[in-house]
Structure 1
């Protein structure tokens, strides 16, 4: 029996390169022994991305598209795409061909060897600035120190998951999901394949610094309580700092009530605001959950049968019944 591989591709303003991506993927899958379905999840694109994909849906019966009502975010797009898959295994990859499809057969080989999750480990990254590479490396290593899970270094969302893993992923209902962390958290038998990440085929990155910072904060606050624990440490620092500074002023003869008061006040205020910021990050996640809103809204689906085209109602039902 021929296996079916579902490929989930989040899309956001990829007009410049989406046609090339589709042509490349169709050429690739035509040579594979498995049957492939390509599920594009449009995350509220403002360009012609949806128009181009819809034109390709008419030409290829294995291409499908899920259109969001607005931009909900890359991680949400992946989460939504998983709900629409029907394959024996699911591959998540970006729609800009930075993740080369030629790696997929190696992932499938590992899956056939008994692994439930096979993630791509980047051994080289083209087309990225030194700053981007440095901050990415720092995030993964900081995350490993803080988090309660052992997420592999230098891995993104490019990975293969078998059906039982995908089914478990659909049971998670975080409003700001950190998908690669979730995949690590659920466990199962995991391994990696190394690959060379290419430069974007066209257009600009959809992950500027602001989105990278948000993704990092979502990851850390989802899987670590250590920042909250650090607040307890912060509470003792003003007292310790004030004591050291008081001893210094006495020793140097510069002690006055004004200098001491101003220094301690500024130091204390800085720590208070830092602590409030950390608390706010966690409380914000709690607020998102208790609001009980659906994580995404689907405007339209094309290429699915009636059963799959009604899946987006599941999100609302799950929010109401939980």
Structure 2
């Protein structure tokens, strides 16, 4: 009797970001669809074309055309380049799977079976499962995640990952809070649902990234999802207050002790430190209000989609 593996009945969606990815897209589709066909009865692949300048889309069509089985691929074409976060939001929004796999990068430099293992982990009661290397990509990444996790208030710390799988409940929860989250990884960690981080030493912790885009995203994330700026301002204001008190004590000691300091020096320093304390105190209050305003405004972000195309394998005449 032939031993056949029972496939999962859940419908799963694979969402990938496509921007000048011709070097990886065919290998990505080959590995991902291989996992999907082995383990799932029903799946879909959604690729977000964020204004590719190379032949990435043509390579997707070529892969689907020559595939031995029908590969359900949908291409979401963005009207203008809008970046990975908004692009991936567009892809996730049209997904219909019970579980959604998010691939911010199409470079699969790890064992593809980790994809199914992450899904199996999600079935044990986790709405969000992230998969990544044991170590963060770089020192700057480690520093960012350390600051972010310390000031975000989330019980689930974030770190470098290569892909993640989400339950439909997690997707709906995040969309209820913000239709287009500015930083999905942080939004998932803060959504209040159970999360798990899979770390695998076989996943390389080095990969080429766009440093400018990463810095911009890191800055936006710290503003939107943490109170790091507010805490920094309060910390500096506290230091200025301490300096003011020390300067005041020093002034009293000089004058009561009969000393002869440089004329005007102590009062000048006292005024300067007190003034800096006031400036940073006001800045802390302003940042607090700006944080609340930004929190309300960014929830109304939108993206622009030019078109959605489902690619089907051409049927040859019998």
- Shorter-normalised TM-score: what interval? 0.7 to 0.9
- How far did residue 66 of structure 1 move? 0.9
- How far did residue 9 of structure 1 move? 0.8
Instruction: Report the TM-score when normalising by structure 2.
Output: 0.74
Corresponding position of 2:230: 228
- Structure 1 residue 36 corresponds to structure 2 residue 47: no
Q: Give me the whole-angstrom Cα distance separating, in 2, the residues matched to 1:92 and 1:139.
A: 22
Q: Give me the whole-angstrom Cα distance separating, in 2, the residues matched to 1:154 and 1:270.
A: 35
2:134 is paired with a residue whose SS is strand
- How far did residue 176 of structure 1 move? 5.6
1:123 is paired with a residue whose SS is coil
- How far did residue 91 of structure 1 move? 0.9
Greater shift, 91-100 or 71-80, is seen at: 91-100
Question: In 2 relative to 1, CA 269–12 (structure 1 residues): closer, same or farther, beyond 3 Å?
Answer: farther
Question: In 2 relative to 1, CA 280–51 (structure 1 residues): closer, same or farther, beyond 3 Å?
Answer: farther
Q: Give me the whole-angstrom Cα distance separating, in 2, the residues matched to 1:113 and 1:168.
A: 19
Q: Do the aligned residues in 1 keep the contact of 2:35 with 2:116 (CA within 8 Å)?
A: no
Among 72, 77, 80, the residue aligned to 1:62: 72
Question: In 2 relative to 1, CA 229–58 (structure 1 residues): closer, same or farther, beyond 3 Å?
Answer: same
Residue correspondence of structure 1 range 161-172 to structure 2 within 5 A: 161-172=166-177
What whole-Å deviation, never above 9, does each CA across 1:123-149 have from its counterpart, x for those lacking one?
256xx5xxx2x2222222222211121
Q: Give me the whole-angstrom Cα distance separating, in 2, the residues matched to 1:19 and 1:281.
A: 47
Among 140, 144, 147, the residue aligned to 1:142: 147
Unpaired segments ≥5 residues, structure 1: 306-322
Q: Give me the whole-angstrom Cα distance separating, in 1, the residues matched to 2:263 and 2:65.
A: 80
Question: In 2 relative to 1, CA 291–118 (structure 1 residues): closer, same or farther, beyond 3 Å?
Answer: closer
Corresponding position of 2:217: 215
Q: Give me the whole-angstrom Cα distance separating, in 2, the residues matched to 1:214 and 1:270.
A: 29
Q: Give me the whole-angstrom Cα distance separating, in 2, the residues matched to 1:302 and 1:182.
A: 28
Q: Give me the whole-angstrom Cα distance separating, in 2, the residues matched to 1:264 and 1:54.
A: 70
- Structure 1 residue 298 corresponds to structure 2 residue 305: yes
Corresponding position of 1:108: 119
What whole-Å deviation, never above 9, does each CA across 1:183-202 have from its counterpart, x for those lacking one?
1222233323322323789x
What whole-Å deviation, never above 9, does each CA across 1:273-295 have from its counterpart, x for those lacking one?
89759957974884695498652
- How far did residue 65 of structure 1 move? 1.1
Q: Give me the whole-angstrom Cα distance separating, in 2, the residues matched to 1:124 and 1:291.
A: 31
Corresponding position of 1:317: none
2:218 is paired with a residue whose SS is helix
Q: Do the aligned residues in 2 keep the contact of 1:76 with 1:177 (CA within 8 Å)?
A: yes
1:152 is paired with a residue whose SS is coil
Q: Give me the whole-angstrom Cα distance separating, in 1, the residues matched to 2:286 and 2:179.
A: 18
Question: In 2 relative to 1, CA 282–137 (structure 1 residues): closer, same or farther, beyond 3 Å?
Answer: farther
Corresponding position of 2:315: none
Q: Do the aligned residues in 2 keep the contact of 1:227 with 1:278 (CA within 8 Å)?
A: no
Q: How many residues align?
A: 295
- How far did residue 245 of structure 1 move? 5.5
Instruction: Report the TM-score when normalising by structure 1.
Output: 0.73
Structure 1 vs Structure 2 CA RMSD:
3.8
Unpaired segments ≥5 residues, structure 2: 1-7, 313-318
